[in-house]
Structure 1
C-alpha cells in the first residue's frame, strides 16, 4: 500500500476556507472536543474556527508556513469539516472525493501551489473498465431489436 498521505500538509485548505460546524462540537457538556476558545459564533447554530471567518482566512490552529510542512495544533480534537475533508487515507485505503480534490486544488492555486495530482503522478485515478456495464447495455439493445422484429414497439406490453 502507499506510505504517504495524499494530503501534502501544505496548509492551503486551512488558510483558505471557512471552517464552520455545529456549536455542540465545541461544547464539552454536549460531548464536543473542539476547544471553544478557538471558535467564534457565526449563527445561533454554527461556529467557525477563529481566523477562518474573514476575507484573508487562516485557521488559528494551523501551525507552520503555507506551502511548507504544516500541522494542526488540535489535530486529535479538530472539527468535523476537517475530519471529513475528502483528501485522506481511510481504513488503509486511499480515499478521495472529486469535489474535495477540486476544492483542495483551488486553495492550492490561490497560494501559488501546483495541483495535487501534479504532485502525485504515481497514483492512477482512472476508472477501471466495467465489462458488466457493457454487457447489460448489449442485452438491453438486443431485447429492443427482438421486440421490433415481433412488430411491437419498444416498451409495449405483449397482449
Structure 2
C-alpha cells in the first residue's frame, strides 16, 4: 500500500499556501525555492499558483486523486508541514477532508492506514543442533562482563 498522499494532492490545489518570507531565504536550505514563491503581503509570501480563487500550487506534480503529490516535499513551507492527512496519526484532519472533498475524493478513514500483511518467503526451519551457539565462557574477553568494583555498592535488580 502506498502512502495516500502520493496519489492525492488535493490540499495542494485547494488552499492558498502562505507563510513568513524568511522561509524562502537562500540561507534556509529546507525552505521553498525562492523562484516558486511570490509576495503576498508585507511579511508573507505565497507559493505561486495558490494566490487565486482556483489554487494549484506550482509544486504539485501529477493528477489529483491519481498520482498527485508534492514535488518539493523536503522543501515545502511550514504551513504544508502542519497539514496532516486524516487519521495517519490517529487524528482527524478537517483540512485534509476539505481538500479531498473539494476534488470529489472521499475523506480518508482509519482503514486507509491499516497495515497490509507482509508475506515472507517460506523458509525451512533450521534445527537448533545444526547451528550451535557458542558457550558464554567461549566469548572473546571484550564481551565478558567485568567483575564488580569493590566500592560499587549493592547491585540493583
Calculate the TM-score normalised by the size of structure 2: 0.63
Structural RMSD (CA): 2.7
Q: How many residues align structurally?
A: 115
Q: Structure 1 35/78 Cα, relative in aligned 2: closer, same or farther at 3 Å?
A: same
- Deviation of residue 33 (structure 1)? 2.6
Counterparts of 1:96 and 1:38, CA distance in 2: 33
Aligned equivalent of 1:107: 99
SS, match of residue 109 in structure 2: helix
Aligned equivalent of 2:124: none
Q: Deviations over 1:58-88 (max 9, x none)?
A: 0001010111112222111111111121228
Question: 1:146-157 alignment to 2 at 5 Å?
Answer: none
Residues 86 and 96, structure 1, Cα contact 8 Å, conserved in 2? no
Residues 42 and 48, structure 1, Cα contact 8 Å, conserved in 2? yes
- Deviation of residue 119 (structure 1)? 6.5
Give 1 or 2 for the bigger CA radius of gyration. 2
1:22 and 2:50 matched: no
Counterparts of 1:68 and 1:119, CA distance in 2: 19
- Deviation of residue 41 (structure 1)? 0.8
Aligned equivalent of 2:52: 54
- Deviation of residue 6 (structure 1)? 5.2
User: Is the helix fraction higher in 1 or 2?
Assistant: 1
SS, match of residue 5 in structure 2: coil
Residues 12 and 57, structure 2, Cα contact 8 Å, conserved in 1? yes
